[in-house]
Amino acid sequence: AARKRNSWNLLELSEAELEEQFVRGDGPGGQATNKTNNCVVLKHIPSGIVVKCHQTRSVEKNRKIAREILQEKVDLFYKGEDSDVFKEKKASEKQKQEKKRRAKENLERKKLFKEMQQLDKE
């Protein structure tokens, strides 16, 4: 989904609508995690949506990633099924189901082929 993000028609977020905090992250990482406040908590005040991002050790990168995630969630919140994010998720879900179906068909074909070989040998 990240490759198509630039072409999406997402709602713009204004900085006045955002509330930003820097907190200590959680999870593995030991001292690097426990001593630094590089986890970004971003709240969109009008919708009440909160995003927590601690993907990297850099505060600036986490701020950028948090804004991207929040923008997608706000867009999904306001547009619902008309959102590009929703459409992309549905499309990828459909592709995954189609891939599973094809894999199942191939497995059935292989079983039939093996059975035919066994019958030919006898």
The pair of structure tokens assigned to 19 is 């509330």
Same domain, 25 and 43: yes
Same domain, 95 and 116: yes
Where does 1-122 have alpha helices with state H? Answer: 31-34, 59-79, 84-121
Convert the pLDDT of each residue in 49-103 to its tens digit. Answer: 999 999 888 899 999 999 999 988 888 888 888 878 888 889 999 999 999 999 9
Domain count, the chain: 2
pTM assigned to the model: 0.65
Angstrom distance (rounded) from CA 90 to CA 54: 27
Domain that holds residue 100: 83-121
Same domain, 25 and 39: yes
Convert the pLDDT of each residue in 10-41 to its tens digit. Answer: 777 888 989 999 998 877 777 777 788 889 99
